[in-house]
Amino acid sequence: MELSKKLQDALNDQIREELYSSYLYLSMASYCQSINLPGFAHWMRTQSHEEMEHALKFYGYVEDRGSRVLLQGISQPPAEFGGPADIFAQTLAHEQHITGRIEMLYGLALEQKDYAGTGFLQWFINEQVEEVRNVTDILNLLKMIGDKGQGLVMLDRQLAGRGR
């Protein structure tokens, strides 16, 4: 069963949002590398890769439903960021934004009585809980240890191990 036009358009918008997320985290990775935090850079590159995978999940779902993916322009992300705590505060705000969008999509699927869509979106709802929790945990650590010193070096090493 094909998607409604309204849900198809909203899912295409979400593909753009996920691609922008990937782009944003890649920009953050580059910045972290430039300030000699290779573990933070690795964490952000891994996050960028995950967001690209999310975009491709949405892409595949739209096609699986017999609808058309229409790619949209992606805005340029910022290139400069503050210290590590600022970067993760921005990451948390962005993940909360994405959570709101996923919840809106779920509500739209319910409104359209698209139960296959709600099943598909449930995975993303659960994923966002995990994303927000992980970022919040890192941000809380950064608030405790600050943006300099041995604690930051230890956290950088810990973040370098993500996905390995």
Q: How far is CA 106 from CA 7, 84, 102, 116, in A?
A: 10, 33, 6, 11
- Nearest-5° angle of CA 57, CA 132, CA 137? 135
Q: Per residue in 111-153, pLDDT tens?
A: 999 999 999 999 999 999 999 999 999 999 999 998 888 999 9
pLDDT score for 6: 97
Number of domains in the chain: 1
Q: How many CB atoms lie within 10 A of CB 11?
A: 24
With residue 60 as reference, give the H or E element that holds it: helix 38-64
- Given a cut of 80, is residue 164 above it in pLDDT? no
The long-range contacts involving 26-30, CB below 8 angstroms and separated by at least 24 positions, are 26/77, 27/77, 27/78, 27/79, 28/77, 28/81, 28/87, 28/90, 28/91, 30/79
| Banded pLDDT at 1 (limits 50, 70, 90) | confident
CA atoms within 13 A on the CB side of 92: 15
Q: Which of 106-110, 121-125, 146-150, 160-164 has the lowest mean pLDDT?
A: 160-164
Q: What is the CATH number of the domain that holds 120?
A: 1.20.1260.10
pLDDT for residue 2: 87
Provide mean pLDDT across the span 26-32.
98
Q: What is the span of the domain harbouring residue 124?
A: 5-160
Handedness of CA 62, 66, 70, 71 (dihedral sign): positive
Confidence grade of residue 35 (pLDDT, cut at 50, 70, 90): very high
User: Using the 8-state DSSP alphabet, how is residue 67 labeled?
Assistant: -
Sign of the alpha-carbon torsion through 102, 25, 67, 10: positive
Report the distance separating Cα 82 and Cα 32, nearest Å: 10
